[in-house]
């Protein structure tokens, strides 16, 4: 049986009385080449643990199970659980967890299921929560080696954008701080069932072993990113005033010691420049404590 074939999805729908949920972002993959590209790009080895987000009817899960030591898949839709039990019955190295991934402790899953090798996170992400899922994985510092995920092309473009480009924003700076970003495939909307309105792309985020910039206080960096890009059309002097309780004069002084023109905008800043501002902010706060 070709699990990914639209006819199989229809058979499953009929047999289990399953209705696809638009609000859960259920656009299932129907193309073997795309499935193979994702699995290949995720570089799964026999000793690896794979954590999959949103297995659907299990097309990626089954393929990952052939290469990995163990696969744990987190699926929110309880109506898919009996279906997954059936489609994955031939694999004894797969566990399905019926939970909302945003409320799941992935680090605990990793610690409980880790094999001898690496940890790979994969998924064809539900589009309505792509950014929150990626940010949660990174901010929780989930002990994974890589995150290979499909998302809307537009989000992928923002994540991989370079400073100075129109699409460079908070998500680009945040993801690039934690990961080396690689685009591994462009995926047309025609390969999904049902067909979404937009095209997709697969990114592999290789989680950095060492941070690319030195920060005195990581939380100040993220505060600076949020404030700077939150009002991206404003100059840094305007967007950072008020951040961390800093006055306009304080921001002027911080930018001057960081060697950054106050008239610049956040979207032009490299990671290194953002880090310099954040470190000067931390220093300023320490020197001006009541
Ligand atoms: N992996 C399958 C495929 O490629 O055909 C399905 C991908 S579909 C785009 C996204 C999947 O994520 C659906 O199965 C959906 O039910 C599930 N999902 C949606 N929100 C979720 C959440 N908060 N936590 C876990 N899974 C979720």
pLDDT in tens, 81-96: 999 999 999 999 999 9
Q: Please, which residues have CB within 8 angstroms of residue 126's CB and are 6 or more apart in sequence?
A: 24, 25, 26, 54, 133
pLDDT at 32: 97
Percentage of the chain exceeding pLDDT 90: 98
Mean of per-residue pLDDT scores for the chain:
96
- Ligand 1: does its nearest atom lie under 6 Å from the Cβ of 74? yes
Q: Rounded CA gap, 101 and 118, in Å?
A: 21
Q: Which of 51-55, 144-148, 230-234 has the lowest mean pLDDT?
A: 230-234
Ligand 1 pocket: which of 28, 97, 126 to mutate (most atoms <8 Å of CB)? Answer: 126
Which ligand 1 atom is the nearest neighbour of the CA of 127? 9
Q: Rounded CA gap, 38 and 4, in Å?
A: 14
pLDDT at 290: 64
- Ligand 1: does its nearest atom lie under 6 Å from the Cβ of 273? no
Q: Rounded CA gap, 197 and 82, in Å?
A: 29
- The residue written with tokens 């995920």 in the block is 149
Whole-number Å distance, alpha carbon 170 to ligand 1 midpoint, is 25
Nearest CA to ligand 1 atom 14: 56
Whole-number Å distance, alpha carbon 169 to ligand 1 midpoint, is 26
Question: Shortest CA distance to 264 belongs to which of 225, 221, 233, 227?
Answer: 233
Percentage of the chain exceeding pLDDT 70: 100
What confidence tens digit (pLDDT) does each residue in 139-191 have? Answer: 999 999 999 999 999 999 999 999 999 999 999 999 999 999 999 999 999 99
């Amino acid at each position: 049986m070709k699990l990914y074939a639209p006819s199989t999805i229809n058979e499953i729908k009929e047999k289990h009385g399953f209705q696809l949920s638009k609000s859960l972002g259920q656009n299932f993959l129907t193309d073997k080449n795309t499935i193979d590209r994702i699995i290949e790009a995720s570089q799964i080895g026999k000793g690896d643990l794979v954590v999959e987000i949103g297995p659907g009817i299990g097309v990626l899960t089954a393929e990952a199970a052939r290469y990995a030591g163990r696969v744990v898949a987190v699926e929110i839709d309880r109506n898919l659980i009996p279906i997954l039990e059936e489609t994955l019955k031939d694999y004894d190295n797969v566990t399905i967890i019926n939970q909302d991934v945003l409320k799941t402790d992935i680090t605990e899953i990793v610690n409980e299921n880790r094999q001898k090798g690496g940890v790979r996170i994969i998924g064809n992400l539900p589009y309505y929560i792509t950014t929150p899922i990626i940010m949660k994985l990174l901010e929780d510092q989930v002990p994974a080696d890589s995150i290979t995920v499909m998302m809307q092309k537009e989000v992928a473009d923002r994540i991989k954008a370079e400073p100075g480009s129109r699409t460079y924003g908070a998500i680009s700076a945040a993801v690039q701080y934690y990961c080396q970003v690689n685009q591994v495939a462009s995926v047309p909307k025609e390969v999904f069932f049902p067909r979404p309105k937009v095209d997709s792309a697969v990114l592999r985020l290789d989680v950095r072993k060492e941070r690319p910039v030195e920060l005195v206080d990581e939380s100040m960096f993220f505060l600076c990113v949020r404030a700077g890009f939150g009002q991206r059309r404003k100059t840094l002097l305007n967007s950072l005033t008020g951040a961390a309780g800093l006055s306009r004069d304080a921001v002027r002084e911080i930018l001057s010691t960081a060697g950054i023109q106050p008239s610049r905008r956040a979207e032009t800043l490299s990671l290194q420049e953002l880090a310099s501002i954040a470190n000067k902010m931390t220093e300023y706060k320490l020197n001006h404590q009541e």
